[in-house]
Amino acid sequence: MKKLFTLIAAALMAVNVSAANKVLKITGTANKANPWDIQCFINLKNLEKGKAYVVKFDVYTTAGTEFKIGTEAIDDIQTKHKDVWNNSAVFNYTDELTLTNTKSEAVINFPGKTTVTCHTHCTAKPGMEINHDGGNIETCNPEILENFEYAASALLLNIGKLPKDAIIYIDNVKVYDEAGKLLSSEDFENATVAEYDNTKTVYYLGWQNAAKFEIVEDPTTGISNIESANVAKDGKSFNLAGQQVGKNYKGVVIKNGKKMVIK
């Protein structure tokens, strides 16, 4: 019994535990070919039509190698302008991000104006009837709206390059105006997640069936640092998610109380 208490005391000395923080966790459940094969929408607040904004958020992945994700500013609430798949046609492709297993701040520029290619109001080509089956665009001429002003309702993430079993953690989504004034912030402490439901904080396309979306406690808040001499001696390594990793792990690790990169 005395030995047990000694071990518990040593463990408490070895690891500093801090208060839990809620984050968005996205776990890959299948390997996909294209970025748009997994899509996730994060709702935003206080954006106005035609104005430019900057969206920032904290992000990192547990994947052993870096990969890229695409981003879009989209008005997913409007219903007047749709594409051939009945998705919102009011959006901009925005900044591409490279994710690593080191936590970083992503910065996305929202322009506030776009060119809309609308198939809600398209017209048939001569001698043809409009047929959008299977995403067909050959039978019609879309309505083109240039310099279309809109207010993005969501940040759309195209994360199909997320490897199976790897995880993306996202936190502290903030919206700034052009002058740098903070307009809104989402820390996921009271966030909701659901399929297809754009009233939730986060929503996703369930039919893609390639990732799991949930709000969880940030694993990095479980271990803030390692400082015991006993832990240092055993040479154990932990990734940034606080999980012990083996000798073949590649990436950023905490070992002997220090952060290092294993290549």
Specify if 190 maps to a domain. Answer: yes
What is the 3 state secondary structure string of the chain? CHHHHHHHHHHHHHECCCCCCEEEEEEECCCCCCHHHCEEEEECCCCCCCCCEEEEEEEEECCCCCEEEEEEEECCCCCCCECCCCCECCEEECCCEEECCCCEEEEEEECCEEEEEEEEEEEECCCCCCCCHHHCCCCEEEEEEEEEECCCCEEEEECCCCCCCCEEEEEEEEEEECCCCEEEEECCCCCCEEECCCCCCEEECHHHCCEEEEEEECHHHCCCCECCHHHHHHCCEECCCCCEECCCCCEEEEECCEEEEEC
Do residues 75 and 31 both lie within one domain? yes
User: Per the confidence metrics, is the pTM higher than 0.75?
Assistant: yes
Tens-digit pLDDT profile for residues 142-183? 999 999 999 999 999 999 999 999 999 999 999 999 999 999
Do residues 256 and 178 both lie within one domain? no
Do residues 157 and 256 both lie within one domain? no
Do residues 29 and 65 both lie within one domain? yes
For the chain, how many structural domains are there in total?
A: 2
pLDDT-derived band at 102, boundaries 50, 70, 90: very high
Give the domain extent around 235.
231-262
Specify if 145 maps to a domain. Answer: no
Query: Is residue 241 over pLDDT 90?
Result: no
Do residues 29 and 79 both lie within one domain? yes
Do residues 156 and 61 both lie within one domain? yes
Tens-digit pLDDT profile for residues 170-229? 999 999 999 999 999 999 999 999 999 999 999 999 999 999 999 999 887 544 443 333
Average pLDDT over residues 102-113: 96
- Tell me what pLDDT residue 251 has: 72
- Tell me what pLDDT residue 247 has: 67
Do residues 48 and 175 both lie within one domain? yes
Do residues 160 and 73 both lie within one domain? yes
